[in-house]
Amino acid sequence: MDPLEDEFGDIIQKARTGLGLTIKQAADMSGLSVSLLEDMESYKYRPSEREAGTIAIVLGLNPEKLYAIASGMWHPQACPPELMSDVIAISGSIGSYKVNGYILYDSVAGEAALFDTANDSRAVLRNLKDRGLKLMYLFLTHCHSDHIGGLREIVNATGAEICMPEGESSADIAGDMKKNERTVKDGMDFKTGRHNIKAVSTPGHTNGSTCYITEDYCFSGDTLFAGSIGRPYGFDGYSTLLKKVREEVLSLNAGIRIFPGHGPATTIAEESGHNPFF
């Protein structure tokens, strides 16, 4: 079982900084000590149910959902293989930090789309070759280095179109790759084999962060994790991210499976019922 991307300490730190609060301010508002909050955020202290509930209320988090994660009582159920028979999860890394990418394919049409690179071009290209797939699109959820590592090698080998979200910097896509670049705007539709793919703008982690949604799946990048969210770029980013996820993602069919940029896969139903930010 893959561990959650964020522990209790990560969650409360993201919420606190997203609200623009210092640790002292959060301590004063909650009645908990500064040292205790510091230990919570640095994984040195596991809170009691009362302590988790107290800080949750101050930070606008759901107390029950937060404590379920703090106590290890919740983890999304593993996805049965038959429910993702047309998705290949690529697990790469930068040092010891794991990052996910995904290939969505139609074996009859022989076409595929890639969602982020997992920083592992060899694994991506090997899987495409083994299944005889033509990569049509390389969809970027955002342009942080762990999500675009190996992009040049993949594009040079496949000729795939680079789908760059509007608002993201394409500074790392230079030279001969520019001819493959296409700007993705909110609401744009794409087709790979039998799969219809819709781009949904979900800024907050970055200005241009985008989720890609099909009938069965949501490729969320660092917008939404199992039990958490990506680190927002500031107060505006935090409030925007929460609003966009609530309106554009959690409103989807409950059975849609979410494939995030880090951590385990989850579902709309799991996140609606267990993510403390919502």
Q: Tell me how far CA of residue 200 lies from CA of 47, 135, 165, in angstroms.
A: 36, 21, 10
Residue-level pLDDT at 117:
98
Q: pLDDT per residue over 222-265, tens digit each?
A: 999 999 999 999 889 999 999 999 999 999 999 999 999 999 99
Q: pLDDT per residue over 133-191, tens digit each?
A: 999 999 999 999 999 999 999 999 999 999 999 999 776 676 667 678 899 999 999 99
Summarize the confidence of residues 28-39 as an average pLDDT: 98
pTM, 2 dp: 0.96
Summarize the confidence of residues 269-274 as an average pLDDT: 98
Task: Return the structure tokens found at 258.
Answer: 């979410």
Domain boundaries in the chain?
Answer: 8-70, 81-274
Residue 195 pLDDT exceeds 70: yes
Residue-level pLDDT at 227:
98
Residue-level pLDDT at 175:
67
* CATH architecture type of domain 81-274: 4-Layer Sandwich (3.60)
134-139 and 97-106 beta bridge pairing = unpaired
Residue 83 pLDDT exceeds 90: no
**What sign results for the dihedral spanned by CA atoms 226, 232, 235, 236?**
negative
Q: pLDDT per residue over 37-82, tens digit each?
A: 999 999 999 999 999 999 999 999 999 999 999 999 999 999 888 8
Summarize the confidence of residues 205-221 as an average pLDDT: 97
Residue-level pLDDT at 238:
97
Residue 58 backbone zone (phi > 0: left; psi -120 to 50: alpha; other: beta): alpha
Give yes or no for a contact between 215 and 189, defined as CB atoms under 8 angstroms apart. no
Residue-level pLDDT at 234:
80
Q: What CATH code would you report for 8-70?
A: 1.10.260.40
